[in-house]
Structure 1
Amino acid sequence: MDHVLTLIAPPGALTPALVTRGRDALRALAAETGAAAWLGEAEAADIPFAGIAPDQASAAATAALSDAPVDAIAQGAEGRRKRLLVADMDSTIVTSETLDELAAYAGLKEKIAEITRRSMNGELDFAAALRERVGMLRGLSVEALERTWEGTVLTPGAAVLVATMRAHGAFCCLASGGFTFFTGRVADRIGFDLHVSNTLLEEGGKLTGAVVEPIFDRDSKLATLKRLAAERGLPMAATLAVGDGANDLAMIQAAGLGVAYHAKPIVAAAARARVDRNDLHALLFAQGYARADFAAA
């Protein structure tokens, strides 16, 4: 079989009956299917298939399992384990939008969060929206950055994702439209090889309301993915990109496996692979790692 459909659910939620429903959805499209292989008991399973395109398979399985907490990712069977990971930070590797949380210390969280929401859904130019939001924080004590970091929570599976991929020879990069204050700390905590993002300017212990130019944005993320792949002699097919916002879409679409993670509507609609109902362990299952292969974080 030249393709594989991976069904992923929260631990204990993927029953044999659900796997059968997923397989039957492919057969209804005249696909040839093989026996399912469990990657994690009651959690993830691979269904080999041939005769239909991956996007047809994932759409059919998703529709057939719409009443269950299952994500369905279909792709080529070869080359599933990627050798380069480029991951967004906010609402992907961490659970929050760090700029919005920082804004709370200026009493502006609701106002700035609305700009963030519109920017991440592609309604506003990212760079202009970032400058506007940072400008509103002029005069805020840099101590607020540390307090924001203290409340920042890693997304479940983030550390295991990076540890497992690195243990199998992959290079892992955190690429964020957020700020180096946070990306550096996240990278250190869970072992990213590299982090790239924007830098807040400060003076006298207070934010100036500006960032270092040029702004690290959608095009920068795509360029980072391509540059890191080229430096390592990797084809784009060997890369994995994951994110949730409009500034992630270009790299998601360019990567061999591009995943929209609990993404904004514009991103979810355009991505070839989606994780809507699971945590970041799903990215390992999608690459064919079994639960027993996961590295300790």
Structure 2
Amino acid sequence: MAEEAGSSPRQGRPSMSAAMRSSSFLREHQQYRPPHKPENHYGIDTVVEDLQATSVSPRGISHFKGVPSPENPPKIVESGLSHELSHPNCTPRPGAHTDRLVATLFYRSSAPRVSNVIPSPKQGTSPQGSRSPSLRAADSDIPPTMAPSSSLDTFPLEPPAAEPEPLDHLYGSFVSPMCIASFLHLMSTFPLPAGSTDLTSAHRCLKLDAKQDHHPVVVELTVSPAPSVDYLSLADLRKHELIYRFEREWNVDVALRDDSLWRRYPRLVVFDMDSTLITQEVIDLLAATIKDPPDLAARVADITHRAMLGELEFDSAFRERVKLLTGLPGDIFHELRPVLEVTNGVRPLLRALKRLGIKTAVLSGGFLPLTSWLAGELGIDYAHANEVVVDEVTGRLTGDVKGRIVGKERKRELLIEIAEKEGIPLEQVVAVGDGANDLLMMDAAGLGVAWNAKPRVQMEASARLNGDSLLDLLYLFGFTDEEIQQLIA
């Protein structure tokens, strides 16, 4: 037994070595001893401690410096949230400059697109012997607000080229996602500035149609960079055949503007009066009051129509019409005040502009007594129009006009004079009109807007509005419908 015991000595009880002992009895004899590192959470100190003993290749680390990477943008994924951080449409890097183009798409819900088969209107000349062809509403199915497709000389005798059926009938009677995608594809076909390789875009819905399941009817698209100005200027881009075709296909109006500071902060808005601030032509209203001769109203209306189309010089046309009014009582303008019909949206628009601190003016080729009265009623700051001569003895119109005619040249001069008086750069001036006599005024302003205008004005203006409310003008400044409702409240 002794040998047996000597051959297999009994193993001793486990004991703590000196390195394992501490001054705490509880710490040495507790049953559970936590690991050296937490199992579920590693603090930054632990990570750094481990990295000191680890060989890490610098290629595997992507340092985030607060600027998202175009190749691998930081992505936030949480419950109910998925958002990628990117900066193509944000402010450029210091020292860099990005030209952005803003396109505002207005769906023409009140003016359904005409069929793609448009009969050529009857060819004829004006009854006054004008060499330019004139268009009567009964002579053609082409709507009066349609812009020429190529040439003013042959429009509207030249019908548009064959085109597909209206796409808004297929994808929705509003500014649909397919409409936006089609427009972005169209913009991608234009050459980019030198050094640019990618076209980026962003969009905002400015207005929803409450009658059609809240579909977007006004959408603002920002495209960066803008097409190369060396290839295509903004003025030429607005008249481009592809833009015109896109508008016809999707039944929209496209307003193109540089995304500049002045776009969002106009300081002076100038309006024409007849067929702009009001729905009528004052001189036609005057003619309609005269029963002898019976064809006077038709003769005056014909001269007005030809002048608005640009077939007649406005100054001579106006003097010719005033001559036809000889003998009317001088207080006839007071009688016309209740008859004037203010255009839909004008009153809330002017209230919004007033709250924004924007000056307003009306430059009319009509008559000063009515223009001044209307400006006072609407709260417009400046009013200029023609002053007719009234015989002091008889108290009737003599058929003469006092001073210079407020025609296209005079309107342009008055716009510049008002801007200089108020200390406002022309880039912050907006001009709104409908006739050929408004073109010079609109060209002098930073933005010229054709309001339900004649074909030539539609083509020449910077932007076109063909809706039923002049309040749509605020969308061109980038306001949303919610913001507009706050302004007009």
Please confirm whether the aligned pair reaches a TM-score higher than 0.5, indicating the same fold. yes
Partner of 2:342: 154
| 1:71 and 2:259 matched | no
- Range 228-237 or range 47-56, more displaced: 47-56
Rounded to whole Å, the distance in 2 between the matches of 1:227 and 1:94 is 24
Larger radius of gyration: 2
Paired AA for residue 20 in structure 1: A
Size of the alignment, in residue pairs?
297
Partner of 1:265: 455
Rounded to whole Å, the distance in 2 between the matches of 1:6 and 1:250 is 24
Tell me, what secondary structure is at the counterpart of 2:270?
A: strand
**1:143 CA displacement:** 5.0
Partner of 1:256: 446
Q: Which has the higher helix share?
A: 1
| 1:291 and 2:481 matched | yes
- Range 83-92 or range 277-286, more displaced: 277-286
Partner of 1:238: 428
Paired AA for residue 18 in structure 1: C
Tell me, what secondary structure is at the counterpart of 1:165?
A: helix
Paired AA for residue 29 in structure 1: F
Instruction: Structure 2: give runs of 5+ residues left out of the alignment.
Output: 1-88, 90-99, 110-172, 193-198, 209-215, 228-232
Paired AA for residue 338 in structure 2: E
Partner of 1:91: 275
Q: 1:8, 1:278 within 8 Å by CA — same for their partners in 2?
A: no
C-alpha RMSD of matched pairs (Å)? 2.3
Q: 1:67 to 1:185 in 2, by over 3 A?
A: farther
Partner of 2:185: 24
Q: After superposition, where does 1:1-297 map in structure 2 within 5 Å?
A: 2-9=100-107, 13-29=174-190, 32-41=199-208, 42-49=216-223, 50-52=225-227, 53-55=233-235, 56=237, 59=240, 60-78=242-260, 79-80=262-263, 81-107=265-291, 108-203=296-391, 204-277=394-467, 279-294=469-484, 295-296=487-488
Q: 1:234 to 1:171 in 2, by over 3 A?
A: same
Q: 1:22, 1:65 within 8 Å by CA — same for their partners in 2?
A: no
Q: 1:58 to 1:214 in 2, by over 3 A?
A: closer
Tell me, what secondary structure is at the counterpart of 2:266?
A: coil
- Range 20-29 or range 153-162, more displaced: 20-29
Q: 2:108, 2:466 within 8 Å by CA — same for their partners in 1?
A: no
Q: TM-score, normalised by structure 1?
A: 0.90
Rounded to whole Å, the distance in 2 between the matches of 1:196 and 1:240 is 17
Tell me, what secondary structure is at the counterpart of 1:47?
A: strand
**1:136 CA displacement:** 0.9
Q: 1:262, 1:277 within 8 Å by CA — same for their partners in 2?
A: yes
**Percent identity (aligned):** 32
Per-residue Cα deviation, 1:153-183 (whole angstroms, up to 9, x for no partner): 1112222222222211211000011111221
**1:57 CA displacement:** 6.1
Q: 1:9, 1:278 within 8 Å by CA — same for their partners in 2?
A: no
Q: 1:22 to 1:142 in 2, by over 3 A?
A: farther
Rounded to whole Å, the distance in 1 between the matches of 2:239 and 2:311 is 28
Rounded to whole Å, the distance in 2 between the matches of 1:130 and 1:72 is 33
**1:116 CA displacement:** 0.9
Q: 1:219 to 1:128 in 2, by over 3 A?
A: same
**1:245 CA displacement:** 1.4
Higher relative contact order (CA 8 A, sep 6+): 1
Rounded to whole Å, the distance in 2 between the matches of 1:151 and 1:17 is 45
Q: 1:266 to 1:208 in 2, by over 3 A?
A: same
